[in-house]
Amino acid sequence: MPGKPVHTALRTLQRTRSAVRGALLWGYEQRLVRDVRGHGKMPQHLGLILDGNRRFARAAGMQREMGHSFGAEKAHEVLQWCLELGIPAVTIWVLSTDNSSRDPSELAHILNLLEQEARNLATDPRIHANHVRVRAIGQHEKFPPNVLAALSELEAKTAHYQGMRLNIAVGYGGREEIVDAVKAHLSTQAQAGRTLTDVITALTPDDVSAHLYSADIPDPDFIIRTSGEIRLSGFMLWQSVYSEYYFCDVYWPGFRRVDFLRALREFQGRERRFGR
């Protein structure tokens, strides 16, 4: 049939074009790696707002729950990139306090994923080989017992490590974190026998900072948000006052290594002024 050779030729041409694009992308990625490594300046605490899972699924014609599943796989991949570049602290925002109002079936799927991923991380060879200390930050009181148990097990198995610090922000909101910090400060001051007037008179920003969920690591110097949304939505409100921000148009499950490296190269080209 005369149409068959034409069809075969078109498929061959498409495969060739795809291979060429792949080779060009690989070459570009390797150049970015050299640029980023050669510069030497890395974020000391990287914040990642993992946005766009549902929209990724919608665009691909999948159920929205699948977007969260692909997003969880991407988080593992990005963790590897951070380990390879020696970034000492990473906070990933997985679930906000606002997300509790979502459809119950979707929320249940997210919590099931959270349990599964916590158990996977607890036995992940990369975590133990690189001495990654993992901690879940946020308000978890309403989480199911099985999810709480998985998070506790993960934290216990990595509590003694001194390598990368990985914070998983779940049930997290920036306003709630500040309120919890103020409550904790007031509680410790009351236990010390100080009056409310004394506490108010002596209160400083450092008093609040000392009780934040991530008080024992530096504030994030670089925050990346995917999906094209240009806002923080409450992510580390107190700690991000001098952070550098990078907003990427791609949805989180589609976040590529080249996107990550471009963001880091952008960070390396900025001069942090700390309000000066």
Provide the annotated active-site residues: 51, 99
* 233 marked as binding residue: yes
Phi–psi pair at 28, nearest 5 degrees: -65, -40
* 158 marked as binding residue: no
* 244 marked as binding residue: yes
* 51 marked as binding residue: yes
* 56 marked as binding residue: yes
* 34 marked as binding residue: no
Phi–psi pair at 9, nearest 5 degrees: -65, -40
* 163 marked as binding residue: no
* 231 marked as binding residue: yes
Secondary structure of 54-121 in HEC code, one letter for each residue:
HHHHHHCCCCHHHHHHHHHHHHHHHHHHHHHHCCCEEEEEEEEHHHHHCCHHHHHHHHHHHHHHHHHH
Secondary structure of 194-245 in HEC code, one letter for each residue:
CCHHHHHHHCCHHHHHCCCCCCCCCCCCEEEECCCCCCCCCCCCCHHHHCEE
* 8 marked as binding residue: no
* 265 marked as binding residue: no
Q: Please give the C-alpha separations between residue 91 and each of 46, 181, 211, in angstroms, as whole numbers.
A: 6, 18, 17
Structure tokens at 53: 């899972």
Provide the annotated binding site for substrate: 52-56, 64, 68, 96-98, 102, 225, 231-233
| Numbered residues of the known binding site for Mg(2+) | 51, 244
